Amino acid sequence: MFSPAVQKLIDELSKLPGIGPKTAQRLTFHLLRLSAEDALPLAQALIDVKETVRFCNRCFNLTEQELCPVCLDLSRDQTSICVVEEPGDVISIERTHEYRGLYHVLGGALSPLDGIGPQNLHLAELFERVRSEDIQEVIVATNPNMAGEATALYIVEELRPLISAGSLRVTRPAAGLPMGGDLEYADEVTLGRALTGRREL
């Protein structure tokens, strides 16, 4: 029904996660209404990103060089690796100013139902780093959901020999009530985690 060029744009937009055919059609009409000067920067930004942005050779964070800014910063603690799912998680943790070590970006989490197994993530590279670099702590900051928890368990099992040998700590950020939250509105899983993870005052 649509002309080939329009249909092609709808099809390409539909491939994006969370964007179905109806949304793709709406976005396409929006882009059609824009002048070329307003619409083409999006195409150019995408081309530029694919040309300039790559993954850090060491930790798979985003970078425009061989290594990412974190790996290049030798003032950071070189004995600690914080494992996250996505490059955006690095940004989130950096914003807290509570962590000064290195990162390792897995590129997702284990999810067998979606066909994502250990070989689809940068897990082998993580274990290689832990063994070859002088790492004393691995903080597994995958998301506190089913896939993230499964990934954390997988990592700790793989590193079990080093933990038993006393040469490595593997930790996980605390799960509990969000700051500013309210006991009454907390879901039972979160509240349960907050109780089992209670700390001395």
Q: What phi-psi label fits residue 145: left (phi over 0), alpha (psi between -120 and 50 degrees) or beta?
A: beta
Interface residues toward a second copy, by CB under 8 A: 1-3, 5-6, 8-9, 11-13, 15-19, 23, 25-33, 36, 39-53, 62-64, 86-88, 91, 94-95, 107
Cβ proximity to a second copy: between 43 and 195 the closer is 43
Residue number, 30 or 131, with CB nearest to a second copy: 30
- Tell me the closest approach of the beta carbon of residue 77 to a second copy, in angstroms: 20
Q: Give the residue with the Cβ less far from a second copy, 114 or 157.
A: 114
Compute the distance between CA of residue 197 and CA of residue 8 in angstroms, rounded to an integer: 52
Minimum distance from residue 114 beta carbon to a second copy (Å): 14
Query: SS3 for 28?
Result: helix
The interaxial angle of helices 146-158 and 123-132, nearest 10 deg, is 40
Q: Provide the minimum distance between the beta carbon of 116 and a second copy in the complex, in angstroms, as a whole number.
A: 12
Token pair recorded at residue 102: 């290195």
**Which helix or strand (DSSP H or E) is residue 63 part of?**
strand 62-63
Beta bridge partners of 116: 111
Comparing CB distances to a second copy, the nearer of 87 and 101 is: 87
Q: Is the Cβ of residue 136 or residue 143 nearer to a second copy in the bound state?
A: 143
For the bound state, the minimum distance from the C-beta of residue 101 to a second copy, rounded and expressed in Å, comes to 17
Both structure tokens of 8:
């092609």
> Nearest Cα to 158, choosing from 106, 193, 197, 89?
106
Residue with tokens 């000064």: 100
**Please, what is the minimum distance in Å from the beta carbon of residue 133 to a second copy?**
25
